Structure 1
Amino acid sequence: MLFGTTVEFNIIPFCIGMTALVILFVISFKKESIFKPSKKIQPRSLLTKTEIKYFYMIRTILPSKYHLCPQVSFNAIITSKDIAIRNTFNRKYCDFTICDSNFKALAVIEIDDRSHNDLKVKQSDAYRDKILKEAGLLTIRFLDTATKYEVEKVIRNNF
């Protein structure tokens, strides 16, 4: 006798089977609620069509020792002990971040459409570029009409 009595031997497989059924039931119930968006909140694409185009373009140009990360929070790549300063950038994101093999941020890439011609947007862009420069990060800006040749030239000159 493996577990001492025949009754114990039969109860253990029964308990294991029932536990497995409960787990399967919970998983199947959760799948529906996880993958079915509510009316209040729906998933969306991480990148716009333009950003997707430039992501693949830059990724093919960038040497393989670097990583290209999309939609990175400024909080993930820069910081400040001064909370007032941190509050000026903690809700900002960049289109792409170029990182080294240890995922240390080296540069930020922004794809600018015509909305960046607006004075307030230009001022916001200038502030973003300033704080990234203070943190020692390069900011590269491309117009959303930049050609692969133009992008390649800038990427190759910097990486």
Structure 2
Amino acid sequence: MELQIIVVIAFASLFVLLILLKIFNKKSNRVYYHTKTLFTPAERSFFGVLTQAVSNQYLIFGKVRIADVIGIKRAPNNSVRQTAFNKIACKHFDYVLCTKDTLSVVAVIELDDKSHLEEKTIHRDSFVESICKNAGLTLIRFNVKASYQIPTIQSKIMASLNSSELRENNRNAIKHRAFRT
């Protein structure tokens, strides 16, 4: 009789232990959580102003991965190409400005808060600026503010786009002249 009690207690203990392990494993596998919002409060505020400033002409997409906007040119070998890709794969642009009809990327926009004064972020910003310049992509920067003036935002965007269009026309003219000679 004592042996039966010991066996029952052993099976019950094993059963409880298995249930506890299953519960523990479920909790330990929960490494993901829903962030609830796409933007920080400052980014959301600026998104509203940005939408008002350009919604007649452009669509705005937020938190777009740099690697989805900028491609990697042919490289001498796959290692060089992979290294270049890895540098942009986990970074994103705050906002991407696209044409309404074709969704062609017109410019990218970065919203700079006080973290952009930190050395690590300064290095990241410099890198992003260099790849945008290398790719011929217009990068427009705005500083976080308590409030924004829509005409000021519109003017800066239009000036940046006009400037980049002028640079592109000059490049094309130079190529055309070089081709004719």
How does the TM-score come out when normalised to structure 1?
0.69
8 Å contact from structure 1 (residues 62, 156) kept in 2:
no
- Aligned pairs for 1:12-91 (under 5 A) are 40-44=31-35, 45-80=37-72, 81=74, 82-91=81-90
User: Over aligned residue pairs, what C-alpha RMSD do you find?
Assistant: 1.9
8 Å contact from structure 2 (residues 63, 92) kept in 1:
yes
Deviation sequence 1:94-141 (CA, Å, 0-9, x none) = 110001231221211111111111122112101111101211111111
8 Å contact from structure 2 (residues 140, 160) kept in 1:
no
Amino acid at match of 2:45: K
How many angstroms does 1:39 deviate by? 5.4
Identity %: 25
Amino acid at match of 2:132: L
Higher helix share: 2
How many angstroms does 1:86 deviate by? 1.5
The answer for the alignment partner of 1:103 in structure 2 is 103
Can you give the 5+ residue segments of structure 2 that lack an aligned partner in the other structure? Answer: 1-28, 75-80, 162-181
SS in 2 for 1:88: helix
How does the TM-score come out when normalised to structure 2?
0.61
The answer for the alignment partner of 2:156 in structure 1 is 154
Amino acid at match of 2:88: F
User: Which stretches of structure 1, 4 residues or more, deviate above 4 A after TM superposition?
Assistant: none
Deviation sequence 1:60-99 (CA, Å, 0-9, x none) = 1115231110000011111114222122111110110001
